[in-house]
């Protein structure tokens, strides 16, 4: 058997084997947590406030931490990691940080992630639509991953509806509705009647009192303009 025959045999033999390890490219939706303060007490208080609103939604969530607003090289990244992990949040890596902070990240096992469309608030548009034909009752949570959510029914007090895209409710919204959960700032929340405990789009949220101040008791569409939510009435 000459060298060409040997190579042919080896290629044929190895081709029959099932790979034990494969490295393949893929993409995943990750939430980006922007840190705009160096004060760990301030960060902790605001984080706990947000987690209290929808604890099950954030539980075990993988996060990329954006540190573009941090200009001090002695930022306590390890302290931040401990705050997040103690609340069952998972830091995948950091982005847009100073070189010194990047070195600290490497030393504590965090990845350095280059900012892309997802990290710059330009996520992929929803690809699917989830339709739920029932009332959503207290304690129930419905999540439309990578898509829009349509609820033909009411969303009761204590219930949660979440979508990476927009949320359309053909009934009364009394519970919590969180659209643009993966960062889609173009998402909207539409409901025939809005009496919500909380509404959120791409992380910006209103509580009941905010909705009442903006007169969102009837049929309406909630959207994000700049860094603030707005609501406009819809024809009945």
Model's pTM, two decimal places?
Answer: 0.58
> What average pLDDT does this structure show over 220-234?
87
Place of tokens 């058997």: 1
Domains detected in the chain: 31-112 (3.30.70.260), 128-233 (2.160.20.70)
Question: Could you give the count of Cα atoms lying within 13 Å of 114 in the half-sphere of its Cβ?
Answer: 1
> What average pLDDT does this structure show over 39-46?
92
Interval 163-194: pLDDT, tens: 999 999 999 999 999 999 888 889 999 999 99
Interval 204-223: pLDDT, tens: 888 888 888 876 657 889 99
- The pLDDT of residue 137: 95
Place of tokens 């010194």: 100
Interval 117-175: pLDDT, tens: 444 444 555 578 999 999 999 999 999 988 999 999 999 999 999 999 999 999 999 99
> What average pLDDT does this structure show over 52-62?
71
Q: What is the DSSP letter of 39?
A: -
Of 3-7, 20-24, 35-39, 230-234, where does the model show the most confidence? 35-39
Contacts of 152 (CB under 8 A, 6+ apart): 131, 132, 133, 134, 170, 171
Q: How far apart are CA 28 and CA 26, in angstroms?
A: 7
Interval 69-114: pLDDT, tens: 999 999 999 999 999 999 888 898 999 999 999 999 999 999 998 8
Per-residue DSSP letters for 171-212? EEE-SEEEE-TTS-TT--EEEEEE--SEEEETTEEEEHHHHH
Banded pLDDT at 236 (limits 50, 70, 90): low
Q: CA end-to-end span of the chain, whole Å?
A: 84
Contacts of 232 (CB under 8 A, 6+ apart): 220, 221, 223
């Amino acid at each position: 058997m000459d060298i060409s025959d040997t190579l042919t045999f080896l290629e044929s033999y190895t081709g029959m084997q099932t790979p034990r390890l494969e490295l393949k490219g893929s993409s995943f939706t990750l939430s980006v947590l922007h840190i705009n303060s160096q004060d760990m007490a301030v960060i902790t208080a605001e984080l706990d406030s947000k987690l209290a609103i929808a604890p099950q939604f954030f539980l075990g969530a993988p996060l990329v931490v954006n540190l573009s607003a941090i200009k001090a090289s002695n930022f306590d990244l390890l302290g931040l990691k401990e705050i997040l992990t103690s609340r069952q949040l998972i830091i995948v890596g950091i982005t847009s940080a100073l070189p010194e902070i990047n070195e600290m990240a490497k030393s504590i096992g965090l990845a350095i992630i280059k900012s892309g469309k997802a990290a710059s608030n330009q996520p992929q548009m929803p690809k699917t639509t989830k339709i739920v034909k029932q009332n959503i009752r207290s304690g129930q949570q419905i999540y439309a991953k990578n898509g829009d959510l349509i609820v033909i029914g009411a969303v009761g007090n204590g219930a949660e509806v979440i979508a990476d895209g927009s949320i359309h409710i053909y009934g009364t919204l009394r519970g919590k509705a969180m659209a643009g959960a993966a960062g889609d700032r173009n998402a909207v929340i539409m409901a025939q009647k809005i009496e919500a405990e909380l509404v959120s789009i791409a992380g910006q949220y209103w509580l009941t009192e905010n909705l009442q101040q903006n007169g969102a008791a009837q049929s309406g569409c909630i959207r994000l303009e700049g860094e603030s939510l707005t609501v406009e009435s819809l024809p009945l």
